[in-house]
Each structure stands twice: as C-alpha cells, then as structure tokens.
Homo-oligomer: A and B are copies of this chain.
Amino acid sequence: MQLSRAEISAMEKRYRAAFVNSLSGFKSANLIGTISTGGAHNLCMVSSVVHLGSDPALLAFMSRPHTVRRDTLENIHATGQFTINHVRDEFFEAAHQTAARYEAEDSEFDAAGLTPETGASLAAPYVAGSPVQIGLEHRQTIDIELNGCHMVIGEIIEVRLAAELVADDGSVDLGQAGSLVVSGLDHYHQTRSVARLSYAKPDLPVHRLSA
C-alpha cells in the first residue's frame, strides 16, 4: 500500500494521529517528573526522549505546543530541573494514567498511585520502582516554529540504577531492567534480545557479540 501526503492529510484527525504516531518506530516509555516552585509534584508520560550527546551527557524530549497549561514545561522553566524515569510492566498502567488532564494542583503521583522519591542532587521527584532514574538540569528549550512544539534539552547530573544492570563496557541491560517500549499512542511492549553486534568497519562484516 502506498499513501500520499494528500491521503494522509485527508485522514480523520484521530485516525491520522494514531497512524503518524506509529511511523517513527517503537519509542521509549518514560515518565518525566517535575516540581513546581510551590512544591507540587508533577508527572507526565512521554515517548519522545532522545539521546543528544554523551559528553556533556544530554537528553531531550518533545513537548506539545505551549498554547494551553503545560505543567511539565512550566515547572522545568521555573525550577531548571526534571527527572526521566523508565517505565516497566509493574506500573505501566499507572504511567499511562498520568497522561490524563489533571488540575494543576493535583499530583499525578497521587492520582495514578505512584510514589515519589528524592535523589541527592535535585528536588524534582523520581518515580519509586523505576529501574533507571535520571536527574537532569535544564539547558535549553528550542521552539520548533513548523508546528509550535518545543524541544527540551537537559544535562544529566545524576543517574540511579542497580549496579548489576551495567555491563563491563558501560552499556545498560534495558531488557534486564524491564524498560518497556510504546508504539503509536497506547500500545506497550516488552523486549527480547536478538543480539549485540560488533562495531561496524568498512572491510569487516559485523558479527554477533552475544545473544
């Protein structure tokens, strides 16, 4: 089947959202934790966290247009801090629930039945039970004029995870961590390792390092 721009544009709005949200491929399932200047916790499901660089260690996520109240974005700009917490199967339904449009004074932790916990380096809350918890300082928000979205960039200042998840080469075993992936808007998946592959070089075919 081949679909043109005109056919995609003519799709019913929710159908198109489900379709186009599927096209990027599987996405990481993360909860972003923030705190307001008044001390209220906020939690928000995102599937757009992306690696930007390792030195300095930078992650980014996409925020929808700031034309309505966006607690996460406002808290990050007010406090300069946020956390990223991997979602695993024990609490993915609660994580998804945080996407509901709660009042500003309501904590999504309470509403979804999740527990905040605090690290050594920042006031923004982590999600208890998350296998990989990352604390970040806000570095920049880039406004994307094409559609009014915002790219929020943070530098990693703290990482909390079980030491046994980190392999000898520094890689983190996300399958062992139980980190989930999302497709489209609402479809959650577990993962099964296929293989690690060797570093790609022009004159040497890649080979499997482990299964």
Contact = CB atoms under 8 A, between A and B. Distances in A.
Interface residues of A, number: 114
A107 interface: no
Interface in A1-56: 1-5, 8-9, 11-30, 47-56
Nearest to A183: B174
A50 B61 CA distance: 9
Interface of A: 1-5, 8-9, 11-30, 47-59, 62, 84, 86, 89, 92-93, 96-102, 111, 119-121, 132, 134, 139-140, 142, 144-147, 149, 151, 153, 155-163, 166-167, 169-175, 179-181, 183-202, 205-206, 208-209
A136 to B, nearest CB: 10
Chain A interface, >50% SS class = mixed
Identical chains bound together, number: 2
Nearest to A19: B170
